[in-house]
Structure 1
Amino acid sequence: MKNLGNADLVEEASLGDVKILKIIGIKDMGTTTSVLVRGSNQLVLYEAERSLHHDLCVVICMVSKRFLTSGGGAPDIELSRQLGAWAKILHGMEGFCVKFFAEALWLFTYFLTR
């Protein structure tokens, strides 16, 4: 096992009714890591895995493309604001439709981020 690496301590530990392998004091870890995800059922595990994957994709994009996009509904609210301003200079049915689309976008974003 020396070909795989060195650690100060390797032990089997119980985490509830599940046994895990605990490795402490790894020498020359490199750039990789492991994430242990636990959940009460498969749906919770799936959502945790999906969320972790999404977060890792964001990190990869941030490192490779070097730009930042605001989160928490900020782009949607800004789009709603800009559409509302544009609706004021449009006339007739076009202005009416754009105005209500902007309001619907704002409401959707407001309730989605609560």
Structure 2
Amino acid sequence: MNNNTHHERMAKMIFASVYPLYLTKVEKKGRTKEELLQVIEWLTGFDEVKLLEMIEKRVTFETFFQNAALNPNAHLITGMICGYRIEEIENPLTQKVRYLDKLVDELANGRKMEKILRSA
């Protein structure tokens, strides 16, 4: 698959279709919806009300991140996710989606909240 196709697919994915997968993933590992919401709010600035609005409107990841106030420490999210090194992803939107994936993974894997919410 060429990179443009991959980036297009990421941009057009509906956040509401991915959110329940995030929730299932973290709850299966003993984490809570509240913790997931905290992680998403840290990254995007969306509180639960705003997040539910985005889910209800069935926005794409592109719209989701266009409306987000990305945390200034988001660049501290590094490492591998889905076979990609996050800090080397050149497409800004794809990188933001992978930031979120990585935070959800860390939460599911039992990482301490203060480590997940990188405070520099």
Identify whether the pair has TM-score above 0.5, normalized to the shorter chain: no
Tell me which interval the TM-score lies in, with the shorter structure as reference length: under 0.3
TM-score (norm 2): 0.24
